[in-house]
Amino acid sequence: MNSDPDPAQALAESAAVRRELRRLGADDASAPDVPAHVTARVGAALRNATPPRPVSRRLTLGVAILAAAAAILGVISLTRSPASPNPVAPTFPVPETQLRAALSEPPDLGPLAAPDRIRACLTGLGYAPGQDILGARPLQIEGRPAVLLLLPSESAQLRTVVVDATCTAAAPGVLADRTMKRH
């Protein structure tokens, strides 16, 4: 035995209720006048009620700042490259002699040689997309393809960075990063 109402009957009953409510709402005689003592009590209660405290601008500003900071932190945590499953040893993976040799040769960007790829990678590293590259060479770090980049840094400094071969603006994949003197 099914106890569900017939949909057509339920719609008809609903429409009838709506019509009756509309009729009653338009008929001034459908409800008696509110007695004066009831109106007086409601008015007195409203006059004696404590007005709601307005929310201070400081509180609103503080909440807005906290929400913005939380949003920024969320975006940063989502755009950071995940930790490498095979972390590189704390020592720089390329000997200084090879770093100096890379400075004396034309840069070989390997898998980052396409202009749009290197521009995106440089952006991810915090450089302008057209930044000069002082030296570069493809290499393998723990069996993974990578690229060594030699970039200008402060005055007499040189930034040596090893990035994953898939380096992008959103996920530069820095495997090693070091600053050294140019000589």
Full pLDDT tens readout for the chain, 183 residues? 455 667 777 777 777 777 777 777 777 776 777 788 877 887 787 788 787 777 788 878 888 888 888 878 777 777 665 544 444 445 889 898 888 889 999 999 999 999 999 999 999 999 999 999 999 999 999 899 999 999 988 777 889 999 999 999 999 999 999 988 876
Give pLDDT, residue 89: 43
Domain assignment of residue 88, yes or no: no
Label residues 26-54 b or e (16+ Cβ within 10 Å = b). eeeeeeeeeeeeeeeeeeeeeeeeeeeee
Report d(CA 180, CA 183) in Å as an integer.
9
Domain assignment of residue 21, yes or no: yes
Range of the domain at 42: 7-78
Judge if 111 and 171 occupy the same domain. Answer: yes
Domain assignment of residue 132, yes or no: yes
CB 165 within 8 A of CB 111: yes
Judge if 168 and 116 occupy the same domain. Answer: yes
Judge if 100 and 148 occupy the same domain. Answer: yes
Helix/strand/coil for 141: strand
Give pLDDT, residue 175: 93
